[in-house]
Structure 1
Amino acid sequence: MIAGRYLRARRKEAFISVIASLTMVGVAIGVATLIVVMSVMNGFRGELLDKILGLNGHFTGYPIESQFTDYEETVKALEQVDGVTFAVSFVEGQVLASGVGSSAGVTVRGMDEENLKKLDLLYNAAEQGGFDQWDDSRGVAIGYRLAQTLGVGIGDEVQIINPEGAMTPFGSTPQIRSYPVNVIYNLGMVEFDSYFMYMPLEPAQDYFRMVDEVLKPGMGPLDPLASDEEIDAAYERIPRASAVEIFIEDPDQVAQVRRNLLDQTDLRPMVLTDWQQRNETFFSALQVERVVMFTILSMIILVAAFNIISSLIMLVKDKSADIAVLRTMGATRGSIMRVFSITGTTIGVVGTLAGTVIGLIVAANAEFLRSSISNLLGITLFPPEVFFLSSLPSRTDPVEVTVVVTMALGLSFLATLYPAWRAAQYDPVEALRYE
């Protein structure tokens, strides 16, 4: 009751009450800021991880010792390994893509429709066109940002140039071909929407010269005057793939699945690189940034805790006569400590609860607030060219929210101990001497 009376402002104590209110606001701002920032960073990391691992496998296997002509058998064998969800084979190469008056360097991946359907993220991301009848389409799929760069749309031709073309007596000549745009997809990640082009497997193998022509067994030397039909009948076309992507059930179990893959004796020799190795620097930087941001923003709550100390010290000074009267009426030192501890802790509890509610609301509507502010001010907040993603993701972690709330309440309680102890040490005789 006494602590509640001290929290309610009276005219002559208005200044102390204002300080307490500002302290409460400071605690709320600190808690809300921490929850929002950590949620956005969780969302950013999770969204990037989902996008990266939605297209690039948890493992990438590069064949060694022989040409990768047995890619279909390898995919089937990999999918039998414990912990592996599925695997996809592909052909990959770097080319220069040209559209209407503009060019860009892109990565071309050749995949058949069966493997493409395994990549739900890509297969369901088609905004224009679709992947139906993909193997027979003889066209390409590009990201919407790449389509904007090249100035092309559905049905337009894209010219791709590969410097490693056919060999002639005068050296290698660039290979130039045009393909229609059949699909424009939007993955929401700048890197994939700007630099990746997909092509049916057979055209990609043909374009990148990933088909070996071997004379069929039993065929003797061909007649120099043989027709093209006879030559085609005498040779067997053996297609190759560049590598295979392996997707696993739990991205954090790469070590165990790697052991399972190495223990599978019937697999062809491959060099395996996992997603943690490929993105080690990037995700390590994100983790360091999370720790640093948490530490820096925690200082807001620490400053608010010091404000609790200062407001309570002023309150104790102002209530020195009241403390003396309570002591002469029989109040113990412990009772006085509890009064001021409850007063200061109440400020911290109310501020923490308010900050938690505000933080959760803002974190849940982070993208809406970003787009609203961007439209209102006419500027782009968090430009996708810098932050990789086209929207501002947010994922609230209950464990982190609990840590933030516990830290705020703990600091608020600790901040009350010294002023409450000082109040309990007041000598009633000295306090009342000049009253």
Structure 2
Amino acid sequence: MSRGEVREHPALPALYLLALGTPALAVTEGPTWVSVIGWAGAISLALLIIRFVLVGFTGYERLVGLRIIRRAGFDPLASASSSDSTPDPGFEPTPVWTRGPFWLALFWITAALGLIALVGFNYTVDRDDAAMLELFKPLRVGLVFYVAVASFAGLLVLIGQRFSVFGTTSIIGVVLGVAALLVVQSVATGFQHEFERRVLGVYAHINVTRAFGISEYRRFEGWLRTLPGVEGASPFVYYAMALAPYTGGPVTEGSPGGAGVAGSDVKLASVLVKGIEPSTADQVIDLPPHLERGSGRVIPLTDLRSSYELMPVPDRADGDLPQVIAATPDPRGPGWYDDAITRWNTTEHGEDPFRIGRTHIDDDVWEDPPDATLDIPVQDRIDTSSLPTIFIGVGLARELDLGEGDIVRLVDPGATFDHSEEPKFVYYLVAGVFQAGFQEYDSRLVYVDIKELQRFKFRGKDIVSGVDLRLSDQDMAEEVGAAIRDALNTTEMAEYSVLEWQKLNENLFSSIRTQKNIITVILSLVIFVASFNVLSALWTMVIRRTPEVAIIMSMGATGPQVARIFQVTGMTIGLAGSLAGVVFGLVMCWLVQLYGYTLDPEVYFIEQLPVEISLVQIAWILGLGLVICFIATIPPSLRAARLRPVEGLRYE
């Protein structure tokens, strides 16, 4: 083996190939072999980085490599020592505005002032004031553009002060690629996590249901609370119904929706009604903060009231229950059913437990009100203290022109299948307006006391659809869900259905992850294209510095040492570009957050463009930029390492 040949360890080429498999770690849902390739690549990459740090950044390789891309005339040690020398009497200093530090300070100061102006605007202007935001929109857009340009110009001046033209152009390409990837990844991650937060604010981490309802739900809930990782549990009932406002006008028989629906031009909305237990619902959903956001005040869940008395239902026989439920004692104590059914039978329930309007609203309301009372709101003309209450979403309130204190009716259009009787309905008083921040929920979801929905769906029997669970860690949902399935569905037919939050909107979450991965791959190509600039610059440097390389090798430098000189050069470009790209990307992310770009909630389901910055995300983007730049250094480094000293000095 001659002096100019590369003397690398035989295992290094294998590590280089394995390191190329590191991006496979980004595939979260895939075969096992993909995960194995990803971890093997990550370990190989870590070993190569450790070796490069221990070997490549030591000795003259680092000094020579940095000298290659250092700006001509830039020598920190020389500039520091020259400050003590006596200036030439005939020396005329250059104007301050032609110096790099002046422009560097100017750009960064102006960028900081622009950021301060944006922050001040957000603190002084109400973000809910659409007219004011629209008035100052050109100013805000101008500030965002101004800060972005000033920040990039400052980075450009800073890089140009330190590196040569070749180095600066290569670094700028990496800066733009890394910054673009960081901004888009932050927005995509913000979308993903914002969707998750809003879905989990309305739905629990896990819900367990049974097709024909659960009568032993108190024992069921008690057992679920004993599972590891479960923080809260609460029963629920779901039912699809129709909702219409009640304005106190005359009732016309045969009007749309059946008898008792006021007027032919009444507004109706199809809604999904969720019956919750006010005492435990806040353990599994975020309804209290949603109510505060929508109503502008704190509304306790106990404001959901119902005077309806359910018919007691005995638990199924222990032999028909899963073993874990049969072994759980009933919190109501032994013999509770006999006492409960005796008490219920002695209570007057009326002939029709649904149509309670005449028992709670004065009879004169059903007739045309006198002219003297036409201007009096309906809630002031009737006694609403005994009406059950309801929470509605802010979107539904806007659609039907409703607010707190208004009266609505819930109609069960599916009371009978043969239409032999009129639809059942009950009047409710709107006790609060919630805002979940998800257009679908704010316009189509309402909450009532669980007893009210048991009245409709289970015809007044004490049966629930299922039990909601909240976990200490949402990522434990699949593990806890699998444990529940194994314990409950011990027979051949799965009697219980266990639904984790990931599967609740699986298509939505899957599409978001797919789009995020596709965008990551596409924008990674920007860094890949920038690496070609690094490769071409290094290759040109190798050709131009062939005599210098030959001289170094003739003085005893080996091929690997020469290769590391250009590897240091390329990695310096990659490190400087990646760090500067992260800085510029963070500035752009903060600008997007401060600007608060609004979205159409009917299209995107949320009102504002979310941005979420993660240290892990920054780390892997930084690592990706370094890996791609390292790969770009391999061809020119091998070209320099294989150079024979005789060929380099032949024409010198």
Scaled by the length of structure 2, the TM-score of the pair is 0.53
Partner of 1:90: 236
**Residue identity in the other structure for 1:131:** P
Judged with a 3 Å threshold, the aligned counterparts in structure 2 of structure 1 residues 340 and 84 are, in CA distance, closer, same or farther, namely closer
Unaligned runs of 5+ in 1: 213-237, 375-379
Judged with a 3 Å threshold, the aligned counterparts in structure 2 of structure 1 residues 260 and 201 are, in CA distance, closer, same or farther, namely closer
The CA distance in 1 between the partners of 2:498 and 2:504, in whole Å, is: 11
Query: Which secondary structure state, in structure 2, belongs to the residue aligned with residue 117 of structure 1?
Result: helix
Partner of 2:274: 109
Matched, 1:138 2:399: no
The CA distance in 1 between the partners of 2:166 and 2:233, in whole Å, is: 62
Partner of 2:205: 58
Judged with a 3 Å threshold, the aligned counterparts in structure 2 of structure 1 residues 271 and 409 are, in CA distance, closer, same or farther, namely closer
Judged with a 3 Å threshold, the aligned counterparts in structure 2 of structure 1 residues 96 and 340 are, in CA distance, closer, same or farther, namely same
Judged with a 3 Å threshold, the aligned counterparts in structure 2 of structure 1 residues 338 and 149 are, in CA distance, closer, same or farther, namely same
**Residue identity in the other structure for 2:478:** V
The CA distance in 1 between the partners of 2:213 and 2:534, in whole Å, is: 71
Query: Which secondary structure state, in structure 2, belongs to the residue aligned with residue 367 of structure 1?
Result: helix
Query: Which secondary structure state, in structure 1, belongs to the residue aligned with residue 279 of structure 2?
Result: helix
Q: Residue 496 of structure 2 is aligned with which of 266, 270, 275?
A: 270
Partner of 2:251: none
* CA deviation after TM superposition for structure 1 residue 425, in Å: 4.7
The CA distance in 2 between the partners of 1:259 and 1:424, in whole Å, is: 59
Partner of 1:421: 638
Partner of 2:68: 6
* CA deviation after TM superposition for structure 1 residue 202, in Å: 3.1
Taking only aligned residues, the RMSD between alpha carbons, in angstroms, comes to: 3.5
Kindly indicate whether the alpha-carbon contact (under 8 Å) linking 1:205 and 1:240 is maintained by their aligned counterparts in 2. yes
* CA deviation after TM superposition for structure 1 residue 148, in Å: 1.9
Q: What does the per-residue CA deviation read over 1:191-245, in whole Å, with 9 as the maximum and x for residues that have no partner?
A: 2222111112333333x25344xxxxxxxxxxxxxxxxxxxxxxxxx43323322
**Residue identity in the other structure for 1:187:** A
Kindly indicate whether the alpha-carbon contact (under 8 Å) linking 2:284 and 2:470 is maintained by their aligned counterparts in 1. no
Identical amino acids, percent of aligned pairs? 29
Query: Which secondary structure state, in structure 2, belongs to the residue aligned with residue 389 of structure 1?
Result: coil
Partner of 1:175: 424
* CA deviation after TM superposition for structure 1 residue 177, in Å: 4.3
Moved more, 274-283 or 425-434: 425-434
Partner of 1:153: 403
Judged with a 3 Å threshold, the aligned counterparts in structure 2 of structure 1 residues 274 and 434 are, in CA distance, closer, same or farther, namely closer
Structure 2 counterparts to residues 179-198 of structure 1, below 5 A:
179-198=428-447
**Residue identity in the other structure for 1:33:** A
Kindly indicate whether the alpha-carbon contact (under 8 Å) linking 1:84 and 1:246 is maintained by their aligned counterparts in 2. yes
* CA deviation after TM superposition for structure 1 residue 332, in Å: 5.5
Judged with a 3 Å threshold, the aligned counterparts in structure 2 of structure 1 residues 51 and 429 are, in CA distance, closer, same or farther, namely same
**Residue identity in the other structure for 1:241:** V
**Residue identity in the other structure for 1:37:** V
**Residue identity in the other structure for 1:172:** E
**How many residues align structurally?**
394
**Residue identity in the other structure for 2:289:** N
The CA distance in 2 between the partners of 1:209 and 1:326, in whole Å, is: 87
Query: Which secondary structure state, in structure 1, belongs to the residue aligned with residue 280 of structure 2?
Result: helix
Kindly indicate whether the alpha-carbon contact (under 8 Å) linking 1:36 and 1:363 is maintained by their aligned counterparts in 2. yes
The CA distance in 1 between the partners of 2:531 and 2:436, in whole Å, is: 44
Partner of 1:377: none
The CA distance in 1 between the partners of 2:70 and 2:196, in whole Å, is: 50
Query: Which secondary structure state, in structure 2, belongs to the residue aligned with residue 171 of structure 1?
Result: coil
The CA distance in 1 between the partners of 2:453 and 2:602, in whole Å, is: 29
Structure scoring higher RCO (CA < 8 A, sep ≥ 6) equals 1
Q: Which protein has the bigger strand share?
A: 1
The CA distance in 1 between the partners of 2:500 and 2:175, in whole Å, is: 42
Moved more, 23-32 or 130-139: 130-139
* CA deviation after TM superposition for structure 1 residue 310, in Å: 0.9
The CA distance in 2 between the partners of 1:47 and 1:53, in whole Å, is: 10
The CA distance in 1 between the partners of 2:434 and 2:521, in whole Å, is: 39
Structure 2 counterparts to residues 244-323 of structure 1, below 5 A:
244-251=467-474, 252-260=476-484, 262-263=486-487, 270-323=496-549
Structure 2 counterparts to residues 355-374 of structure 1, below 5 A:
355-363=581-589, 366-369=592-595, 371=596, 374=597
The CA distance in 1 between the partners of 2:555 and 2:224, in whole Å, is: 83
Kindly indicate whether the alpha-carbon contact (under 8 Å) linking 2:489 and 2:495 is maintained by their aligned counterparts in 1. no
Kindly indicate whether the alpha-carbon contact (under 8 Å) linking 1:155 and 1:181 is maintained by their aligned counterparts in 2. yes
Q: What does the per-residue CA deviation read over 1:371-410, in whole Å, with 9 as the maximum and x for residues that have no partner?
A: 1xx4xxxxx4x43333323333344444443332222212
Judged with a 3 Å threshold, the aligned counterparts in structure 2 of structure 1 residues 123 and 309 are, in CA distance, closer, same or farther, namely same
Matched, 1:388 2:605: yes
The CA distance in 1 between the partners of 2:560 and 2:466, in whole Å, is: 73
Unaligned runs of 5+ in 2: 1-62, 74-159, 248-265, 306-386
Query: Which secondary structure state, in structure 2, belongs to the residue aligned with residue 172 of structure 1?
Result: coil
Larger C-alpha radius of gyration, 1 or 2?
A: 2
Structure 2 counterparts to residues 407-418 of structure 1, below 5 A:
407-418=624-635
* CA deviation after TM superposition for structure 1 residue 308, in Å: 0.3
**Residue identity in the other structure for 1:393:** P
Partner of 2:184: 37
**Residue identity in the other structure for 2:396:** L
Q: Residue 125 of structure 1 is aligned with which of 282, 290, 298?
A: 290
**Residue identity in the other structure for 1:74:** F
Scaled by the length of structure 1, the TM-score of the pair is 0.77
* CA deviation after TM superposition for structure 1 residue 17, in Å: 4.1
Q: What does the per-residue CA deviation read over 1:344-391, in whole Å, with 9 as the maximum and x for residues that have no partner?
A: 22111100111223334544665334x1xx4xxxxx4x4333332333
The CA distance in 2 between the partners of 1:94 and 1:367, in whole Å, is: 38
Kindly indicate whether the alpha-carbon contact (under 8 Å) linking 1:164 and 1:172 is maintained by their aligned counterparts in 2. no
